[in-house]
Structure formats: structure tokens, C-alpha cells
Chain A
Amino acid sequence: MRVELLFWDGCPSYPEARSLLDEVLTTRRIEADVELVEVRTQQEAEELRFPGSPTIRVDGRDVDETGAGSRPALNCRIYRLPDGRVSPVPSREQLEAALP
């Protein structure tokens, strides 16, 4: 299984996303090396179809498919929590649903 965490250093949310991802992987007893991919330029954002930081893909599939097609950009990505609140990181539920 391939788990990628794409991030842009200008957004402060990726350490929180990394911790949450590690926590969910541990809880689910999934051994996976998380590949960290830093996106540095708009050109890289476009090449990687990076809709904002952080973006987490499991076997190439975005954990939040609704936002995956947003315009590639160096910005903080918006996620929706199950209760409707806005968050700069995916919800635990989204991560759990994306993992086997």
C-alpha cells in the first residue's frame, strides 16, 4: 500500500495531518511507509494535481475525493468535518474510510 502526504511548507497544518495519519495507521495496525512529498512551486502543484496542503493519497486515491479536483495551488486545503465544521486537515473518519 502506498500512502503519500503532499504538503506545502507555507501552510502550518501538515504536522497535524501527519500525526493524525500516523495515529490512524497505528490504531488500524497498518504498516505503511508514509511518503512525504513537499510541493514548492505552482508548477509542481499543477504537475502533481495538488489541490492544497495537506493532501493525502492512499494508492493514488485522495482521501477526500470531493476536494481532489480543486484548482492546483500553493494554499491550505479546506476539509469538512462530519459535523459540517471547516478544518485544515482531513477528519479521522475520512482517513479511516480511505484505508483498507
Chain B
Amino acid sequence: MTPSTGAATTAPAFELPGVDGATHTLEELAEAPALVLVQSCNHCPYVQAWEGRLKAIQRDYADRGVQLVAINSNDATSHPEDSFEEMRARARSQDFNFRYLLDEEQSVARALGSERTPEVFVYDAGRRLVYHGAIDDSRDESRVETHYLRDALDAVLAGREPAIRETQPVGCTVKWKAA
């Protein structure tokens, strides 16, 4: 059974510019046994509170081929802190060890069914959604009891379904462009 909300049940195709100057696609990640797409941004305090944990997860699972990709879809006109230049600066200052991509058209956010930042979508090797929601159960790292994302990755890598398939992401809203 897949998670039940409007989250994309298969990984959406994308072709997006990254802060590293390259264009990145879903296809280039085909070898990853698990893919984590993170709806993210610069300006949100919830994203910033979890950033260090995202880096730790990418570091801890890299040798098992897991790829974490952060995607910023926010409207940079209303939120200039989320512009591509600011993304580059943030990735440099925080020494990101994962791809950080700009979804200027907001098409990936719409395809994912994203609502919050941060909000994670975990896809298995067949790019089927196996977990959607929060990274863990507390913004305060010292109070975390359940590591949803790590638990989901451990399950996928072991060929099992995660025990928890869906949680409520806690964070800022995605900043959609005015219609």
C-alpha cells in the first residue's frame, strides 16, 4: 500500500539546474537503490533546523548508494531569500553534500504534491513512493524519538516496506507564484 495523501506515487521526471552549475535529471539517479526528494528552500526556519540532519543522512547512507536531492520551488519574487543566487550561497555556507536544485516553474512541486518545506518523499529502486512526510518527529534534534526518514531508508535497503509510510510534514508552506 502506498501513502494515501496527494503525494506523487512514482518519482516525477525532472530536469533542473543545481547550485553546482550542472543540470540534473531523474535519469542520472537511476542506479540509486533509494531516492529521497526533499521539498526545501532557504528562508524557512524549519528547513534550517533540519538541514544538519539531512547532511548527516546523506553522509551516513552515501556508501549504500542513497541519493538525497533538495528542491527549492519557492517563488523568489515574493521571497528573494530563495533566489538561485541565495541558494548557491546557502549551499556554500552550509557545505551541502547533496544536490540542491531550483524548480523555478514549480512543476516538480506540483507533480510531487508538496505543501511544506521541509517535506520528504522516499522512492525505492523502482521509484515507487514508500515514505512521505517529516524527517523525524521533532524540530529539536535532542528530542527526536522516531527517525522516520532513516527508518524508511533502512527498510527500503533491506527490501522491506517501512513500518511508517506517512507522517505529517511540519514546516513552512511552499510559496506558490501568484496565479
Contacts and interface: CB of A to CB of B under 8 A. Distances in A.
B170 interface: yes
B78 A76 contact: no
A69 interface: no
B79 A78 contact: no
The binding surface of chain A is classed by DSSP as: loop
A78 to B, nearest CB: 4
B44 interface: yes
Contact of A12 (B49, B79, B171): B171
A94 interface: no
A76 B49 contact: no
A40 to B, nearest CB: 14
B139 interface: yes
A49 to B, nearest CB: 17
A86 B50 CA distance: 9
Given A85-B49, A87-B49, A88-B49, A75 B43 contact: yes
Interface residues of B, number: 15
Nearest to B44: A76
A54 to B, nearest CB: 11
B167 interface: no
Q: Nearest 3 pairs between A and B by C-beta?
A: A88-B45, A86-B48, A78-B45
13 contacts: A10-B173, A11-B172, A12-B171, A13-B45, A73-B79, A75-B175, A76-B43, A76-B171, A77-B45, A78-B48, A79-B45, A88-B49, A88-B139
Given A11-B173, A71-B80, 20 more contacts: A12-B170, A12-B171, A13-B45, A73-B78, A75-B44, A75-B172, A75-B175, A76-B43, A76-B45, A76-B46, A76-B172, A78-B43, A78-B45, A85-B49, A86-B45, A86-B48, A87-B45, A87-B139, A88-B46, A88-B139
